[in-house]
Structure 1
Amino acid sequence: MNPVRLEIAVDHPSALQNAVNGGAERIELCSSLADGGLTPSPGFIEWALAEVAVPVHCIVRPRGGNFCYTPAELAVMAADIRCMRKMGAPGVVVGVLTARHAVDVQAMQVLREAAGPMRLCFHRAFDLAADRPSALEDVIRCGADILLTSGGAASLGDGAAEVRRIVAQAAGRIEIMGGAGVRVATAGELWRTIPIDTLHASLRSVWSEAAHPAHTSDPTTTETTATMGARDQDTLYTVNPDDVRAVLRDLPPRTALRGKSIA
């Protein structure tokens, strides 16, 4: 199997279809990207695994906010992972920190055991670690296969120097995936100048009325003041397959792996 260059994060079926139609080589399956990505529903997972041929890695995050979880939340995360494993998902995406912003090794080992042979990605909770060199060793010790990082910065471009240091420290022991703030216009330059194994992006674009009229709500047809959540009036987003194609055109294939980049 060829190394994965581009992973796309999606949180609804149309975005998944568009990402794969554009050539995405791996999918991070989520709900609520507006909250940074939460655990997708079993129905979404089942549908995604039946719909696409590329690897689908499911995020396991029971709520928004910090990454310091209660025993009850960890039990739910382990149960979700076991369900994903039974459904045939090839990978999960998790991250647990202690109250002092270190990798919670004990909790991660429980989740690693629940995942069994599935690939396990430690997500950008890593970027909140107080001591990233130590955190990297803990992530590797916990049996993670992939690390997603921006080098502790708001964007991959801003954290480029730290990501280079992380890659050097990892020395091929784990796949290093760079993400955060990746745009069509910047993806190629990031790929060429940072020695990451994989690029991660959501490439979200506005879900236009012309392209998706079935998902457009007409506010003139109701006078209610009822709301269903904090983001009722937010613009809807999806993935434009042309954006995925444009990024891939700017990512030359790599003949040798820098880390452990497989599906």
Structure 2
Amino acid sequence: MKLEIIATTLKEAKDIELAGADRIELVTGIKEGGLTPSIGLIKQVTETVKIPVVVMLRPHSKSFVYDSYDKKVILDDLEEIKKTKSYGIVFGCLTKDGNIDHDLLKEVIKNKGHLKITFHRAIDVAKDTIKAYSELRDYKIDTILTSGGFSNALEGRDIINQMVKLRYSNILAGSGLSPDNIEEFISNSLVSEVHMGSGVKFRKDNLAEIDLDLIKKVKDILNEKGNNI
């Protein structure tokens, strides 16, 4: 089973790779749910680590609804990300009534070039998570990051399993997962990939720091689960 970890700095990215994670999601503004990182950070991380790096493409934290001004920023950022060694982008967009914003999604997919695309947890605040997921099958979406429409993946496990069974895209389970509950989650889950952020950090001087031992612990649990499938 694969493990994706959130990084917000170059050092975090290097530590995540060292601890054995399979992929990095690079963001800034983690307290806001993740925003597009600076181009300098993207370049440094993607040129330093060898594991795949997917980059958050999100211009603000107000919502997942974007106007024409936001669209210009999104597409400009996308052009810059394409020039780096990034593996993919993490993006999601909704209309004001909570449905997939098909026009903007088509535009991003048309312009993403070689980059893989993960549709992020905007799907969890959509009006109907399963309906939104079914609509995404019309696009070449590589991965869906989701908690099943709930605040955390443990609560949304049944919906996540339902999504896996539909097989429209690869499902990446995230939100609320930690070394303390990951074994319980995957024992009743059909996913092959999980996503973590704060669950593999410790508090130091009021700051959250990546804990290599926690990442290794989670990876060991995932490897054991994978060997038993």
What TM-score bracket applies, with the shorter chain setting the length? over 0.9
Structure 2 portions without partners, runs of 5+ = none
Alignment of 1:31-46 (within 5 A): 31-46=28-43
Q: How many residues align?
A: 227
Q: Residues 204 and 237 of structure 1 are in contact (CA less than 8 Å); yes or no, is this contact kept in structure 2? A: no
Alignment of 1:146-157 (within 5 A): 146-157=143-154
Secondary structure of 1:21 counterpart: helix
Alignment of 1:211-230 (within 5 A): none
Question: Between the two proteins, what is the percent identity of the paired residues?
Answer: 26
State the alpha-carbon separation in 1 of the partners of residues 219 and 195 from structure 2: 12
Task: Tell me the residue number matched to 1:248.
Answer: 219
User: CA offsets, 1:95-147, max 9 Å, x none?
Assistant: 00000100111110101111122110000000011122221122222321100
Q: Residues 34 and 58 of structure 2 are in contact (CA less than 8 Å); yes or no, is this contact kept in structure 1? A: yes
Task: Tell me the residue number matched to 1:208.
Answer: 204
Secondary structure of 1:136 counterpart: helix
TM-fit CA distance, 1:197: 2.4
Residue 177 (structure 1) aligned to one of 132, 156, 172? 172
Aligned partner letter, 1:194: S
State the alpha-carbon separation in 1 of the partners of residues 19 and 173 from structure 2: 20
* CA RMSD after TM alignment: 1.8
Q: Residues 182 and 201 of structure 1 are in contact (CA less than 8 Å); yes or no, is this contact kept in structure 2? A: yes
Higher Cα radius of gyration: 1
State the alpha-carbon separation in 1 of the partners of residues 126 and 186 from structure 2: 24
Q: Residues 191 and 199 of structure 1 are in contact (CA less than 8 Å); yes or no, is this contact kept in structure 2? A: no
TM-fit CA distance, 1:254: 3.7
Residue 110 (structure 2) aligned to one of 110, 113, 131? 113
State the alpha-carbon separation in 2 of the partners of residues 187 and 85 from structure 1: 34
State the alpha-carbon separation in 2 of the partners of residues 168 and 191 from structure 1: 15
Structure 1 portions without partners, runs of 5+ = 210-234, 258-263
Secondary structure of 1:28 counterpart: strand
Task: Tell me the residue number matched to 1:23.
Answer: 20
TM-fit CA distance, 1:58: 0.1
TM-score by length of 1: 0.82
TM-fit CA distance, 1:236: 1.7
State the structure with bigger RCO (CA 8 A, min sep 6), 1 or 2: 1
Secondary structure of 1:54 counterpart: coil
State the alpha-carbon separation in 1 of the partners of residues 140 and 51 from structure 2: 23
Task: Tell me the residue number matched to 1:102.
Answer: 99
State the alpha-carbon separation in 1 of the partners of residues 60 and 200 from structure 2: 21
TM-score by length of 2: 0.93
Please state if 1:74 is matched with 2:45. Answer: no
Q: Residues 91 and 119 of structure 1 are in contact (CA less than 8 Å); yes or no, is this contact kept in structure 2? A: yes
TM-fit CA distance, 1:13: 2.1
Secondary structure of 1:37 counterpart: coil
